[in-house]
Chains A and B, each alone.
Chain A
């Protein structure tokens, strides 16, 4: 592949939008026949919330990840092209990376594969972050929670979202497979185009679509493979499954997905600007994109993701069918809350601000909470979830058990005598949810360079 021939191109394969979510083997094999120069896969997301990062557990089942990885690894080794997997284990912390590393070793053993592997670590050293914080080199994005040294100490883990540079460096070391911790969704797809001097805007725009697999097709059936061909002033992209197709609108629309701004996408070294991008159909399944631009950043920045323990939860689910209760539901629940708070104080000594009691009312505003515009209750039944968050599981369950007893028998003026006003479907009525976490940082670091936060470790498999 010469840098200066007009026809030069790079073909990049994305087997699936999320490692472990699956793809059709037939699509993958069809893609391999087109001789991609590199296979990239984004294994990470914050879609499932803070649990994966906080608890150190991937979102996708181990068996599902192994199924995808086996096919991808065998394919990449068969056609001898680099395989780059980013944000291993959903959250891309050290424990997540090692889980995927272990699966890869297992597959290699079972299939008799050997190759040169790079592990790129993304979990951040807390002292490093404190140093950068003191230097004023950690800055908030919008909106951002408070971030200080105490937050760093409280965090279960904090990861940095690497750019494409550590991937490039690992490829330059001659590795055949890269397993990386938390990474920008586009980083693994941009590495090879970057090394061959393709336009950053073109490569980044293609990468942004590739990272979601078939999310950008007209009517997605299941997660599946997408192939992009990058040339000097445009890229072409489309699905491999003959039943799927991309249109100019489906590709243009994808810039909207899970992105606050439909035209600008911020990366460590700059911003993708698709304002002037032009989309045209190559045929009924492939789309050509031109005019995507890259605006280099003045300062190189790495986004942080962190999670801390919010407490332990126990929940109680119940239904209310009595129309007399339903017509005074808010008021009834306010009185129940006061009674529970009194009882908890009486038994445990805890004040209401030392634990959290959240009462969700499905049928009223259980789905939208504070954003719900419909204020009055309508309907013939409501589902209640009493959710207790406390410092230990035992305490949460103690409070939930007392909540059950107080709530189910709480009176209304219409009835005299003891009522049972909440239908509990389970015995025991409460369910222990375990530890619950919160995201606690939406900030960027200004490192000295693109590599200092992401050590590369070479391993022979």
Chain B
């Protein structure tokens, strides 16, 4: 078992335009990337559960040539609108760090 944060070279979140948030989970080592990908722990379902929204609102990708996993979701509040907590969307990835990868 290892935490996703210990295996990834970078986990980040960012706006993809003012209306969507996107998460990038990146790896340096193809074997580690494959391990995480095959584990099935990081999935559309996982993103849906962690961020509490329906699976059909989650875009989810494995990007093999970049050794990266990517997910995008609609923002709960549009960027900069009253009540938004994170104008750049940069600090929304923290719950992904502690996912347990076999």
Candidates B15, B26, B94; contact of A368 at CB < 8 Å: B94
Interface-central residue, B72, B85, B91, B95, by most chain A CB under 10 Å: B85
| Bound complex: CA A277 to CA B65 (Å) | 9
| Chain A 432-461 interface residues, beta-carbon cutoff 8 Å to B | 436-439, 442
Say yes or no: A50 contacts B79, CB within 8 Å. yes
Shortest beta-carbon contacts, A-B, top 6:
A49-B80, A252-B66, A260-B72, A260-B16, A369-B85, A253-B66
List residues of B whose CB falls within 8 A of some A CB.
14-20, 22, 24, 26, 28, 50-52, 59, 61, 63, 65-68, 70, 72, 74-88, 91-92, 94-95
Candidates A249, A258, A278, A356; contact of B82 at CB < 8 Å: A356
Say yes or no: B87 contacts A48, CB within 8 Å. yes
- Please tell me the size bucket of the interface on A: 35 or more
Interface string of A321-364 (1 = CB under 8 A from B): 00000000000000000000000000000000000101010000
Q: Chain B residue with minimal CB distance to A252?
A: B66
Say yes or no: B81 contacts A439, CB within 8 Å. yes
| Bound complex: CA A371 to CA B94 (Å) | 11
List A contacts of B78 (CB < 8 A).
145, 438-439
Q: Taking chain B's interface residues, is the majority helix, strand, or loop, or is none over half, making it mixed?
A: loop
A144 to nearest B CB, angstroms? 7
Candidates B63, B77, B85, B95; contact of A256 at CB < 8 Å: B63
Verify if A23 is at the interface (C-beta below 8 Å from B).
Answer: no
Question: Known pairs A143-B20, A262-B68, A263-B61. 14 more at Cβ < 8 A?
Answer: A51-B80, A249-B65, A249-B67, A252-B68, A253-B24, A253-B63, A277-B65, A279-B65, A358-B83, A369-B76, A371-B51, A371-B92, A439-B19, A439-B78
Q: Would you mind naming 8 contact pairs between A and B with Cβ atoms under 8 Å apart?
A: A46-B79, A47-B15, A252-B63, A261-B61, A262-B68, A262-B70, A358-B82, A369-B86
Verify if A370 is at the interface (C-beta below 8 Å from B).
Answer: yes
Say yes or no: B77 contacts A439, CB within 8 Å. no
Candidates B14, B19, B68, B84; contact of A258 at CB < 8 Å: B14
| Bound complex: CA A49 to CA B77 (Å) | 12
Say yes or no: B85 contacts A439, CB within 8 Å. no
| Bound complex: CA A444 to CA B75 (Å) | 19
| Chain A 5-61 interface residues, beta-carbon cutoff 8 Å to B | 46-51
Verify if A75 is at the interface (C-beta below 8 Å from B).
Answer: no
List residues of A whose CB falls within 8 A of some B CB.
46-51, 141-145, 248-249, 252-253, 255-263, 277-279, 310-311, 356, 358, 360, 365-371, 373, 387, 389, 436-439, 442
B19 to nearest A CB, angstroms? 5
Say yes or no: B87 contacts A49, CB within 8 Å. yes
List A contacts of B65 (CB < 8 A).
248-249, 252, 277-279
List A contacts of B94 (CB < 8 A).
367-368
Say yes or no: B80 contacts A258, CB within 8 Å. no
Interface-central residue, A47, A142, A279, A358, by most chain B CB under 10 Å: A47
Candidates A367, A373, A439; contact of B86 at CB < 8 Å: A367
Say yes or no: B85 contacts A261, CB within 8 Å. no
| Bound complex: CA A51 to CA B82 (Å) | 12
